[in-house]
Structure 1
Amino acid sequence: MRTPTLSAAARRSVLALAGTAALAVSSLAVAMPAGATPTVYSKGGTSWVRACDTLAKGDTMACHALRVTNTVQAVHALGVTPDATPSGLGPGDLLSAYKLAANGGAGQTIAIVDAYNDPNAESDMAVYRSQYGLPACTTANGCFKKVSQTGSTTSLPANNSGWAGEISLDLDMVSAIAPNAHVILVEAKTASMANLGTAVNEAVKLGAKFVSNSYGGGESSSDTSYDTSYFNHPGVAITVSAGDSAYGAQYPAASKYVTSVGGTALRKDSSTRGWSESVWYTNSTEGTGSGCSAYDAKPAWQKDTGCAKRTISDVSAVADPATGVAVYQTYGGSGWAVYGGTSASSPIIASVYALAGTPSAGSSPASFPYAHTSSLFDVTTGSNGSCSPAYLCKAGVGFDGPTGLGTPNGTAAFKG
């Protein structure tokens, strides 16, 4: 997507924001433990690391953002570079791949739920939007709001450089797909399920009809209680990343009240669509999540017979870091970067729901794609591990675990 040339005043404003944001990098409050070395993953010449320094353990959730470490940028590291394109898929690519109209989202409010605080969230999003010629979304113009899990705009959680990458990824994906929507960033005090769940409730309380959650952890016997306390919001589309650890069920993607979102590798090709997709899989410990829940009941609209309880995923979108998306991050980052993980696919799908319109009162938006399967691109190749029955980890015609019913082909599958 070619970037429109900005006025000199606009460029000065955005570059000032970027400079202020960059200064904050030196004041990290929570970061990777001293001496810790992140695991480097690689595929096809692309290398990346997990943005969050700790994996899920017990009640603590991990974010599903993956940051590419060997990106070569054609733009200045910091700020806007008119008439140049950052590495990674941009808004034009994503809208083209999923047959979505530009400039959508007017009148809708999308919430992003994450843990900890990114002090540069607003200024970084401003640079991303300016780079791609998208409308400004700021606190001043009423488009953007950042709050704690209790709704406070001043008493925010501790800063965290890892989760800041997650936050930048989420905000940039919402900006790419639904640039005219209002955005609420709700920051949980910690990455516990209780605090993140409280943040989900706060997002709904603040009026969001679309809530994206790009985190997860192992299932537990507490999950059905969490379902009732945090995710049972009729008439609200709640999306959750399926996970980045290859085959295996995670929570809250396993919740029967959410749309669980798997991940694909998305590449341009010479087909009529112009793009092709396959299951995202790196190795036995990394790739899109999928599986059969051990605790959550199967929702009425899910008809597969190889899993007696809830099956993950419902739908999917791009997540492979090797075909990753462009992101702008200065708190814990150096400006332009490429990210992947199902942390990308969840906010993309939440934003597609927003483009489709407000869910009807009392509805279960997770059921909508099941009523409109012909309005999705069926992903039929690839797998994320070994399992039985095979469809839980291997793509095929129709429904499968790694990619669900498929990826967006316009918005029709997300209306209801």
Structure 2
Amino acid sequence: MSRLRTLTRVLVAVVLAVPLLGVTTTGAIAAPLLGGGFVDFGCAHARLHCLGKAIKSPDGPGPLLASMPVGYGPAEIQAAYGLAGRHGEGRTVAIVDAMDAPTAESDLATYRAARGLSPCTSQDGCFRKVNQHGDASPLPAPDFGWAEEISLDLDAVSATCPDCRILLVEADSPDTDPLMTAVDTAAATPGVVAISNSYGGAEDPTITAADIHLDHPGIAITASSGDAGYGVSWPASSPHVTAVGGTTLKKSAGTTRGWAETTWSGSGSGCSALEPKPEWQHDTACAKRTVADVAAVADPKTGLGVYDTYNSCGGGALCDALLALGLAQGADGWVQVGGTSLSSPVVASVYALAGNHVTGAAGPYAHPASLFDVTSGSNGKCGGSYLCTAGAGYDGPTGLGTPNGTGAF
């Protein structure tokens, strides 16, 4: 009984403090949500898992929630990567995830309205949600963690390419076969020019047989490089995808670009044990496939503000308190997020803005001058080599660099 009374007092105190969780700034970039570190989305996983992280609440193990937009939005993403004024011209970016996000479309509508973007709905044909076979129903079982991942992916596409159409393909489970079926479905959908995959898992002997599902000439397929620092995950290690690492992106007054990037310590990288080296990759310390190819913002501390309301507690002040304390699942409003789950849909959207028909990551390797080279930071220990340490030119954590307009894509 004493433990119950203690928990009740904590809940009451947090509920009374909930207004402090809201961010009321009206500036383009809200005050950063520093919280108490990062928290994984908690996606249900089997073979593969999502690669997103949210700023953690200082009050418990759950996410730090806000009542107003936080973090970076469309203006910052487009300014940082030289994308302002570019258009998707009706092209479609496909997002492949597992499980269902029941509030995906309504949450996307709230995000776009708050960020001053035009609507993107199923009614106007801009947004579609389908199962792994391309049908509107039946949809997979819902999952609170994957729903947060889906919100991140949809909002990242919206921020990077506001007039792109969006196709959300939901796999039945986070296993290889359902997810690869979803990729094939996305690739077969008219208008799709880029497919983002914000999930990964350890390499094993099954992956080379699954690679055929990532080989769709003329469609750019991106994959998150991982969020655990130095080390390789699949599908980022597939030679058919553009493996996307992560950076810390900050304003830098007085510089020509106005922004500065360093390696995010969580960015995955390294030398594949199984995948062959693509013909367009020429680094010398890895005889097989090297991860990553390019990078974009991934550090949750400099992350994207995302809107998500799918949770296990129904919304409201008490729900927010339960979420912060880790006593409920999901989110209830604005969260500041990152991980290479963010960088993958950003780069997929840059491919869509470029409008070129591509195969693998050959384009960036042919046009490295059209990227911002990231030359500092590390994601782990590898003897100090470029596989885990950023430097001039190619390196594992950030590849050839980050988008500088669309010239490399």
Tell me which interval the TM-score lies in, with the shorter structure as reference length. Answer: 0.7 to 0.9
- 2:405 corresponding residue in structure 1: 410
- 1:209 corresponding residue in structure 2: 193
- 1:240 corresponding residue in structure 2: 223
- 2:12 corresponding residue in structure 1: none
Deviation (angstroms), 1:205 = 1.0
Name the TM-score, length of structure 2 as normaliser.
Answer: 0.83
Work out whether 1:63 is the aligned partner of 2:46.
no
Deviation (angstroms), 1:69 = 2.4
Deviation (angstroms), 1:324 = 1.1
Letter in 2 for 1:305: T
Say which of 280, 300, 316 aligns to 1:321.
300
Say which of 348, 351, 354 aligns to 1:353.
351
CA separation of 1:272 and 1:103: change in aligned 2, threshold 3 A: closer
Q: How does 1:14-413 map to 2 (within 5 A)?
A: 46-53=36-43, 60-70=47-57, 77=67, 86-102=69-85, 104-207=87-190, 208-228=192-212, 230-270=213-253, 271-281=255-265, 287-331=266-310, 332-359=330-357, 363-388=358-383, 390-413=385-408
Deviation (angstroms), 1:181 = 1.1
CA separation of 1:370 and 1:76: change in aligned 2, threshold 3 A: closer
CA contact (8 A) 1:108 1:358 kept: no
Letter in 2 for 1:235: G
Deviation (angstroms), 1:76 = 7.0
Cα deviation per residue 1:296-323 (whole Å; 9 max; x = unaligned)? Answer: 1000000001000000000000000111
Deviation (angstroms), 1:124 = 0.4
CA contact (8 A) 2:195 2:219 kept: yes
CA contact (8 A) 2:35 2:55 kept: no
CA separation of 1:305 and 1:328: change in aligned 2, threshold 3 A: same
Aligned-partner Cα distance in 2 for 1:137–1:44: 31
CA contact (8 A) 1:244 1:341 kept: yes
Cα deviation per residue 1:358-397 (whole Å; 9 max; x = unaligned)? Answer: 31xxx41411000110010000000000114610000000
CA contact (8 A) 2:94 2:186 kept: yes
CA contact (8 A) 1:102 1:177 kept: no
CA contact (8 A) 2:239 2:360 kept: no
CA contact (8 A) 2:66 2:335 kept: no
Structure 1: gaps (5+ residues): 1-42, 282-286
Aligned-partner Cα distance in 2 for 1:386–1:203: 37
Aligned-partner Cα distance in 1 for 2:309–2:401: 33
CA contact (8 A) 2:100 2:143 kept: yes
Letter in 1 for 2:131: S
CA separation of 1:223 and 1:388: change in aligned 2, threshold 3 A: farther
CA separation of 1:76 and 1:393: change in aligned 2, threshold 3 A: closer
Q: Classify the secondary structure of the residue corresponding to 1:391.
A: coil
Aligned-partner Cα distance in 2 for 1:100–1:232: 27
Letter in 1 for 2:128: K
CA contact (8 A) 2:200 2:233 kept: yes
CA contact (8 A) 2:43 2:144 kept: no
Cα deviation per residue 1:263-321 (whole Å; 9 max; x = unaligned)? Answer: 0000101211111111111xxxxx11001001110000000010000000000000001
Cα RMSD (Å) of the superposition? 2.0
Deviation (angstroms), 1:111 = 0.2
Aligned-partner Cα distance in 1 for 2:85–2:38: 30
Aligned-partner Cα distance in 1 for 2:290–2:38: 29
CA contact (8 A) 1:71 1:338 kept: no
Structure 2: gaps (5+ residues): 1-32, 311-329
Aligned-partner Cα distance in 1 for 2:105–2:58: 24
Deviation (angstroms), 1:103 = 6.0
Letter in 1 for 2:366: A
Q: Classify the secondary structure of the residue corresponding to 2:274.
A: strand
Deviation (angstroms), 1:168 = 0.1
Cα deviation per residue 1:81-101 (whole Å; 9 max; x = unaligned)? Answer: 6xxxx2211110111110112
Deviation (angstroms), 1:132 = 1.1
Cα deviation per residue 1:169-194 (whole Å; 9 max; x = unaligned)? Answer: 00000001111111100000000011
Q: Classify the secondary structure of the residue corresponding to 1:309.
A: coil
Aligned-partner Cα distance in 2 for 1:45–1:276: 23
Deviation (angstroms), 1:152 = 1.3
Aligned-partner Cα distance in 2 for 1:118–1:190: 13
Aligned-partner Cα distance in 1 for 2:260–2:216: 34
Aligned-partner Cα distance in 1 for 2:219–2:275: 19
Aligned-partner Cα distance in 2 for 1:76–1:214: 24
Cα deviation per residue 1:49-84 (whole Å; 9 max; x = unaligned)? Answer: 100245x66xx10100101123999x972xxx6xxx
Q: Classify the secondary structure of the residue corresponding to 1:185.
A: strand
Aligned-partner Cα distance in 1 for 2:257–2:98: 37
CA contact (8 A) 1:124 1:330 kept: yes
* More moved, 187-196 vs 60-69: 60-69
